[in-house]
Amino acid sequence: MAAWTNLREPHGTYVMGILNVTPDSFSDGGSWLDLDAAVARGYRLMNQGADIIDVGGESTRPGAAPLSSREEWDRIGAVVRSLSQAGIPVSVDTYHAHTARLAVEAGAAIINDVTGGAGDPSMFSTVAGLRCLYVLQHTRGMPQNMNTLASYSCVPDEVATELSDSITRALGAGISRDRIIVDPGFGFAKDADHNWDLAAHMEAVEALGQPILVGVSRKRFLADVASGPSPAARDDATAALTSYFASRGVWGVRVHEVAASKAAVLTAEKLREAGAFEKAGATPGADSSDCPHD
């Protein structure tokens, strides 16, 4: 846990490997439902270079059916415990406060809440009493209706404002600021153009002053540049965006296939050591302060 408690220390971008213990995730649903297969997948992601394994038991793709906390924990509990006991830093992808508590008690270091606290009114107070990091993501609504809420006049500014409001509520519930990581929520209540716009203009989110986790891996908007129709065909585009976000200094990237994104992170770090990204405007978009639609 100590490696994850002080987010202000200089570091490179962490790579979070995705482990979906679900039958219906958009990319790899059903692949890792068996305990042995899921644990083996976690070790494979670590061997590829992952720093953290993000375990999820409920699909959050648009239109996905919700699970109860009990159903969710029945899927992921043994996996979380097994990986944590092996000394692997584990994040748990959940919006259920009860699951969050069980996960931290089982050894998880991070709670990754795609609803930013809106999915369970007890989440903020529960996390406030736990010794863990908390990923607070931007979205609108829930997976069942979020696509109907994808309406913006200025995506980057509105995302940052809504994240700021969520941070304020989290702080008010007792979560300390140095435990909060923000995620701008690519693919959540955003269409393809919204996602590209947000990626190109991250300044407002960066100005919040919180560590940033980015999850673009295999998202539908990458089909614009992918080599084929399957979600896995978007891995190259994912790695390209990992390089871009690492050059911006994000705290972490959440990816399905780790090796290429780890290489992208290490490449960005070598470039930074050699003096890249230091001059004003060298970071992509650094001189953009106004909404691109103004």
pLDDT in tens, 115-149: 999 999 999 999 999 989 999 999 998 877 888 88
Rounded-to-10 torsion of CA 221, 253, 18, 231: 20
Share of the chain residues as helix, strand and coil, in percent rounded to the nearest 5: 45, 10, 45
pLDDT (average), residues 67-77: 92
What is the pLDDT, as a whole number, of residue 241?
98
Chain centroid to CA 125: how far?
Answer: 21
List C-alpha distances in Å: 146 to 23, 60, 65, 70, 97. Answer: 21, 10, 13, 24, 21
Provide the mean pLDDT of the chain: 89
Reply yes or no on whether the pLDDT at 51 is more than 80.
yes
pLDDT (average), residues 185-196: 96
pTM recorded for the entire structure = 0.90
What is the pLDDT, as a whole number, of residue 147?
86
Residue of 226, 232, 235 lying closest to 262 (CA atoms): 235
Q: Which of 81, 179, 190, 254 is catalytic?
A: 254
Crossing angle of helices 258-273 and 235-247, rounded to 10°: 30
Which residues lie below 8 Å from residue 197, measured CB to CB, with a gap of 6+? 155, 156, 292
What is the pLDDT, as a whole number, of residue 23?
73
E-assigned strand segments in the chain: 14-20, 52-56, 90-93, 110-113, 133-137, 180-183, 213-214, 252-255
219 labelled catalytic: yes
Q: Which of 219, 234, 248, 262 is catalytic?
A: 219
Reply yes or no on whether the pLDDT at 9 is more than 60.
no
254 labelled catalytic: yes
Cβ–Cβ under 8 Å, residues 46 and 82: no
Q: Predicted confidence band at 282 (pLDDT cuts at 50, 70, 90)?
A: very low
E-assigned strand segments in 124-187: 133-137, 180-183
Exposed / middle / buried, residue 28 (Cβ in 10 Å: 0-12, 13-18, 19+): middle
Q: Predicted confidence band at 2 (pLDDT cuts at 50, 70, 90)?
A: very low
CA distance 294 to 207: 19
